[in-house]
């Protein structure tokens, strides 16, 4: 077959093997039809080209580091992978287009530590990868994290193209249920979360999240037969449940119906925590929606069960990915650790995951605190031991969660090698700490100061908005959860 050998062939597998000219008709090519064999479809040249380019860059990085690769500890290996990922962006040099640089950054730097981690795995070669939908958040992240304003306008251009292509796919019964279409909607949601600024409701993000729910219904049980389908489901369902928990409405019953099929599918151990966390967020959404129907004892029992489940996940996470405490005075450079302590994690992803669990646990404890204030001790069927357990959580466990979050801040902002990426994850956590009633005064001051630092140093206006809400004694607005989901 002719053509540029550097350009991956889009032909079907049988035609590539036999080196025949493939006409790429759908649903199958003429060559396979004449040979009476299954065609199998065509490859996405964009995703192949991307992986070829980054693979070559990775080989250069590996070669340059091979001399010092032996004898590394697990922590060092984790940080080396992070450094290598950043080098993938740098090694391509100024000759690469903004799209190429942004895509390399997204796939190899952002995705591995986010809910899009499946895009960073070699096995995640998606048929018809949604190029514009991927480039929209990739360019926006590149613009925000590396102060490259030209990429922002390119991001908005690709967002408009992706929106048009996604709407077209949604009008086709076959394309609407494809992995590519659901991935497009999730990527469009990410774009909206990244670009959103406070003082209004995240209307566009909400619309994309509701659209994802409709796609999950359409995809039905068949989506659980593929590893990618299960991952996309976990990702989309967590967004949906987080939205429901934030606004206090019950999670769609169709999610529970689909879940019965999902439970029969194998789940690797590393995905168990994600699934369990999704169930907890689902429980929070359902509790907030039904709280007015519950008796005083039922309110406390429901919240205590949610707290117990979160405590179990945190214990298991700490066992699987333990962190260690450092003395800030022993470090070679000055580090702004809270009360002189810094907790170092095996990876940024581990720190982010544990902080997400901690801040959600604080949210549950805050609801317990509100129940203690609003429900009289002698109310109806109220059991004294329930109030005692709630008091302990509010006065002791809550402070423990606050301290563990703050002890991680110096690692995320100063010890981790890509703070311009990791800083955003702190917005929701620091905001939650700063508004909690029982937070120590120095904890609130540190949280507000670090929010301002994140906003001014790394260009995140959401962090400044959050700090101002805290200082003005305002409730956190409905958009603040987007900082966790992006």
> pLDDT of 430-473, one tens digit each?
988 998 888 999 999 999 999 999 988 887 888 888 888 888 86
Contacts of 422 (CB under 8 A, 6+ apart): 113, 348, 351, 352, 412, 413, 416
Q: Which two structure tokens, joined as six digits, stand for 67?
A: 């001399």
Nearest to 284 by CA among 239, 245, 255: 245
pLDDT digits (tens, 9 = 90+) for 10-27: 788 788 877 888 888 877
**Residues 61 and 91 sit within 8 Å (Cβ to Cβ):** yes
What per-residue string of b and e applies to 94-115 under the rule 16 or more CB within 10 Å gives b?
eebebbbbbbbbbbbbbbbbbb
The maximal CA–CA distance of the chain, rounded, in angstroms, is: 84
User: What is the CATH topology of the domain spanning 1-43?
Assistant: CD2-Gal4 (4.10.240)
Contacts of 3 (CB under 8 A, 6+ apart): 9
pLDDT of residue 261: 67
Nearest to 110 by CA among 63, 136, 145, 77: 145
pLDDT of residue 64: 45
- Terminal-to-terminal C-alpha distance of the chain: 44
Q: Which two structure tokens, joined as six digits, stand for 228?
A: 């990618």
- Cα 281 to the chain's mean position, in Å? 15
**Residues 212 and 443 sit within 8 Å (Cβ to Cβ):** no
Distances (CA, A) of 142 to 100, 369, 412, 420: 11, 41, 19, 10
E strands, 214-275, where? Answer: none
Q: Which two structure tokens, joined as six digits, stand for 401?
A: 């969660």
Q: Which ranges of the chain have pLDDT less than 50?
A: 1-6, 46-92, 94, 477
What is the spatial distance between Cα 168 and Cα 443, in angstroms, rounded to a whole number? 50
Domain-wise residue ranges, the chain:
1-43, 46-58+75-195, 294-485
Distances (CA, A) of 22 to 3, 37, 56, 129, 354: 13, 14, 28, 21, 50
What is the spatial distance between Cα 389 and Cα 387, in angstroms, rounded to a whole number? 5
* 326, containing H or E segment: strand 324-327
């Amino acid at each position: 077959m002719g053509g540029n050998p550097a350009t991956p062939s889009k032909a079907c597998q049988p035609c590539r093997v036999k080196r025949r000219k493939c006409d790429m008709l759908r649903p199958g090519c003429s060559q396979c039809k004449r040979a009476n064999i299954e065609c199998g479809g065509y490859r996405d040249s964009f995703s192949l080209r991307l992986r070829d380019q980054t693979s070559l860059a990775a080989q250069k990085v590996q070669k340059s580091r091979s001399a010092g690769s032996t004898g590394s500890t697990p922590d060092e290996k984790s940080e080396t992978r992070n450094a290598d990922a950043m080098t993938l962006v740098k090694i391509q040099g100024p000759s690469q287009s903004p799209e190429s640089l942004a895509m390399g950054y997204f796939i190899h730097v952002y995705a591995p530590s986010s809910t899009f981690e499946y895009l960073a795995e070699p096995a995640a070669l998606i048929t018809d990868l949604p190029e514009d939908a991927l480039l929209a958040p990739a360019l926006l992240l590149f613009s925000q994290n590396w102060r490259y304003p030209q990429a922002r306008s390119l991001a908005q251009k690709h967002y408009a193209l992706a929106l048009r292509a996604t709407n077209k796919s949604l009008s086709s019964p076959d394309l609407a249920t494809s992995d590519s279409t659901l991935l497009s909607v999730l990527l469009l949601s990410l774009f909206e979360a990244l670009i959103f600024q406070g003082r209004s409701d995240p209307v566009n993000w909400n619309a994309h999240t509701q659209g994802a729910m409709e796609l999950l219904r359409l995809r039905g049980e068949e989506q659980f037969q593929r590893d990618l389908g299960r991952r996309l489901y976990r990702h989309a369902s967590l967004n949906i449940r987080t939205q429901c928990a934030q606004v206090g409405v019950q999670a769609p019953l169709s999610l529970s119906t689909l879940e019965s099929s999902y439970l029969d599918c194998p789940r690797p151990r590393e995905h168990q925590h994600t699934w369990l966390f999704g169930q907890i967020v689902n429980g929070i959404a359902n509790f907030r929606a039904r709280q007015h129907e519950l008796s005083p004892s039922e309110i406390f029992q429901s919240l205590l069960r949610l707290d117990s489940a979160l405590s179990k996940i945190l214990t298991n996470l700490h066992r699987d990915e333990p962190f260690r405490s450092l003395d800030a005075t022993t470090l070679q450079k000055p580090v702004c650790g809270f009360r002189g302590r810094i907790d170092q994690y095996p990876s940024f992803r581990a720190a982010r995951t544990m902080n997400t669990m901690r801040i959600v646990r604080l949210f549950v404890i805050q609801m317990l605190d509100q129940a203690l204030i609003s429900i009289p001790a002698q109310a109806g069927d109220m059991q004294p031991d329930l109030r005692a357990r709630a008091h302990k959580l509010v006065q002791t466990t809550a402070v423990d969660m606050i301290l563990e979050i703050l002890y991680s801040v110096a690692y995320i902002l100063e010890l981790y090698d890509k703070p311009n990426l990791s800083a955003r994850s702190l917005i929701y956590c620091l905001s939650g700490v700063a508004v909690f009633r029982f937070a120590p005064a120095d904890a609130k001051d540190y949280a507000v100061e670090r929010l301002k630092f994140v906003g001014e140093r790394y260009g995140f206006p959401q962090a400044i908005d959050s700090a101002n809400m805290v200082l003005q004694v305002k409730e956190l607005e409905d958009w603040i959860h987007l900082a966790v989901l992006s």
